[in-house]
Amino acid sequence: MTENDGVKEALPPDLQALADELSALDADARALAGGLDETQASWRPDGGRGWSVAQCLDHLAVATRAYLEPIEAALRSARERGRWRRGPVAPGVCATLFIWSLESPVRWRVPNPRSITPAPAPPLAEALSGFLRSQEAARGALRSGAGLDLSVRFVNPFVPGLRFRVRAGFSIISAHDRRHLWQARRVLAADGFPGR
C-alpha cells in the first residue's frame, strides 16, 4: 500500500508481486531461525570456514541496507526530476543475468565485499530482527517509489560503474536473500550440526 494524503492505495500488481516476494522471505527467515538456540545459530560448517545461520541473516541485513542507499537516492532524484511511472518496468538484460547469478543453488562463489561481511558471532535475535528491519525498509522504498519511473538507474554499491534500473534492485535484493537463506538451510543439514 502507498499513502497519499492519508488514503492507502494498492500497489500496482507488478510492484505488489515484489513486495510479496520480500514478505515471503521474511516468513522463510522466521521459520529457518525458529527453534534454534544460540549454539545452533552460531555453528559454522566446513570446520568453521562457512557462515552460520546467524551470519547469513546478518549479512543479508547489511547488504540490503547497502543496496537501498543508492536505490533511495535514485528514487529521490526521479521525484525531483518529475520521472513518474508509466507502467511496469523490466529489470533489463544485464540485471536479469546478474539476478540469475545470485539465485540458489549457488553456481559459483564470488568474493564477499568486506563492507558486508557478517559479524563473527551475531546473536540470532539481533541478526533476525536486523534482517526483518532491512526487509521492511525495502518494502518501504518500494511503496514510496510506486508512483515513480523505476527505470531510473542506481549505481551498484559493490561494483562501481555498474548501473541497474531501480526496479531490478528490488529483484536483486530478493535473489540475494534467497541465495543466503538457501545457504543457511544447508547449514542446518550439514554434518556435525549440533542437536541433530
In terms of Cβ atoms closer than 10 Å to its own Cβ (0-12, 13-18, 19+), residue 105 is exposed
Asked if the structure places residue 196 within a domain, the reply is no
Tell whether 3 is covered by a domain. Answer: no
Per residue in 138-171, pLDDT (tens digit) is 999 999 999 999 999 999 999 888 999 999 999 9
Domain count, the chain: 1
Please write the tens of the pLDDT for every residue from 100-113: 999 988 777 778 88
What's the grid cell of residue 138? 525495502
Is 180 within 8 Å of 145 (Cβ atoms)? no
Residue 5 domain-assigned (yes or no) = no
Nine-digit cell string for 114: 568486506
Asked if residue 20 belongs to a domain, the reply is yes
Please state whether the predicted TM-score (pTM) of the whole model is above 0.85: yes
CA angle (45, 46, 47) in 5-degree steps: 95
| Tens-binned pLDDT, residue by residue, of the chain (196 aa) | 444 554 457 999 999 999 999 999 999 999 999 999 999 999 999 888 899 999 999 999 999 999 999 999 999 999 999 999 999 999 999 999 999 999 988 777 778 888 999 999 999 999 999 999 999 999 999 999 999 999 999 999 998 889 999 999 999 999 999 999 999 999 999 999 998 6
Domain membership of residue 90 (yes or no) is yes
CATH number at residue 121: 1.20.120.450
Domain-embedded: residue 156: yes
Closest by Cα among 160, 190, 164, 189 to 175:
164
CA distance 75 to 72: 5
Its domain, for residue 74, covers: 11-189
